[in-house]
Amino acid sequence: MKILKIPRGFDLNVAEQPDLSCTHLALPSSLGCCAGDIPHIRPKLLVKEGQRVNTGEALFTDKRDTTIQYVSPATGQVKTVIYGPRRRLMEVVIATESEDEYVEYDPVDLNGIVGMPRDELVACLKKGGLWQGLLRFPALDCAEPDHSPAMIIVAMDGNDLFSPRPDIILKDNIAAFEAGMAILRRFSNRLSVVCRESSLEGIWEIGRSVAEQITHTAPDIYPAWHPGAVLYQIKQQAAENNSWCIRLDHLVMMGRFLLSGRYPVEKIVTITGPGERQPHMRVRQGMPLSALVGKIPGNSLVTTGRFNGRILEKDAHIGLFENTVNIIEAGPGEEMFGFARPGLDKPTLSSTFLSSLFRRPAKMDCTLHGEERACINCSYCERICPNDLMPAFIMKALHADDLEDALALGLMDCCRCGLCSFVCPSKIELTQILSDAMDAYYKDKE
């Protein structure tokens, strides 16, 4: 097992952490299957409002590859189809029934996974709504089944500061993990299984067979365990730039699907925010935000990632790739004589606040401490970037329409961790600017 040493990142001592217990939430009266949060997809609706669907039945597909299906997480009636600008499909909402009727497939055991023709395995995963869990670098689009990647990274700790703990996801799912790993071995000989240092003990406790497959541990400095940061640390050749990655929860879902022949409907979600620590929650896919968090404090921002992710409206549902809900308080706004206050609980990269000396748990809020202004060349963004990029230089190249320069500066190595935007004293949305440029370049090349 190798220990990754990330040179940069944010060793942030945040007060809000999810509790390590796990609770189960009941099936809500409606669930949503989101298309709007899936990158690069061109969704094509397959159902109509009022139509009854079974659990695991296709709701929409991707026009670029209509064999990839996005399926219903419950049995019930299609209540609403929500469209966004230019009638782009955003979400299909299902009014749930209390009993599930599943779309049934033939279960496949470990030997079956090893012996199954590769095409058949891919077709089965695509039809079952699980293939899209495998993502391809650098654009993090759905993996191409005809390609054999030089490496697949298994992200045991997801990609967020508060992603669910692997030992909680793995509880009662060791066989599904083994099945998932057997699936990955059909596509690549090099599997890199990465977990946070602080998760290792829990993984050993839950299953020795799982712990023995961990190839790398990453320090607890965000985003050391993020698959994009891991790839940057361990890649040895250019071919690995197009490696694949998968999160532990999606790997377990793949395994469960093949072993049981049914779409796995549950996931683990963490809720973090002000107040008491919340337990991990075992919930249905597509859970409404209101059922997860109840009443949200006024003016708070709810996001699916601490430093990046989607902003959730009150009536939103949790998407397939989302498993953290962050409630970030509005904050006090402009503080009287704020410059003279010690800031003992304020997160800081520089030594602006005393919290940098005392390591007291920092409290995050939405206060921006000013408006966007021009770059002041402070280099904070460069000092924090885990992938050794110079985000300000890349941004300036992009603003000058010099894509070649931006690419030469490593644009496609950005893992979209969000830290550069977080630390920028000029409030420049660097991650968004780089991310949009990466997506535009990828779309152009496609």
Interface with ligand SF4 (CB under 6 A)? 375-381, 384-387, 389, 391-392, 414-420, 424-426, 428, 430-431, 434
DSSP string, 331-359: ---SPTTGGGS--TT---SSSSSTHHHH-
d(CA 360, CA 428): 27
Shortest separation between residue 69's beta carbon and ligand SF4, angstroms: 31
State the burial class of residue 266 (Cβ atoms within 10 Å of its Cβ: 0-12, 13-18, 19+).
Answer: middle
- Residue 41: name the closest of 152, 119, 135 by CA: 135
- Between 129 and 386, name the residue whose CB sits nearer to ligand SF4: 386
Neighbours of 222 (CB within 10 A): 28
Q: How far is the CB of 145 from ligand SF4 (least distance, A)?
A: 28
Q: Smaller CB distance to ligand SF4: residue 126 or 346?
A: 346
Smallest gap from Cβ 434 to ligand SF4, in A, equals: 5
Toward ligand SF4, which CB reaches closer, 257 or 380?
A: 380
Minimal distance in Å, beta carbon 234 to ligand SF4? 16
Tokens encoding 233 = 């640390």
Say if residues 94 and 156 touch (Cβ distance below 8 Å).
no
Closer of 271 and 349 to ligand SF4 (Cβ): 349
Least Å from the CB of residue 371 to ligand SF4: 13
Nearer to ligand SF4, 278 or 308 (CB): 308
* Burial (CB count within 10 angstroms: exposed 0-12, middle 13-18, buried 19+), residue 310: middle
Instruction: Quote the least distance from Cβ 375 to ligand SF4, whole Å.
Output: 3
Q: Which is nearer to ligand SF4, 9 or 43 (CB)?
A: 9
Alpha-carbon distance of 39 to 138, in angstroms, equals: 12
**Least Å from the CB of residue 431 to ligand SF4:** 4
Backbone angles phi, psi at 295, to 5 degrees: -80, 130
Q: Shortest CA distance to 359 belongs to which of 16, 17, 11, 13?
A: 13
Sheet of strand 89-96: strand arrangement:
30-34, 89-96, 76-83, 52-53
Give the DSSP per-residue string, 91-115: EEEEEE-SS--BPP-----HHHHHH
- The residue among 61 and 308 lying less far from ligand SF4, judged by its C-beta, is 308
Which of 128, 386 has the CB closer to ligand SF4? 386
Closest approach of Cβ 105 to ligand SF4, in Å?
Answer: 39
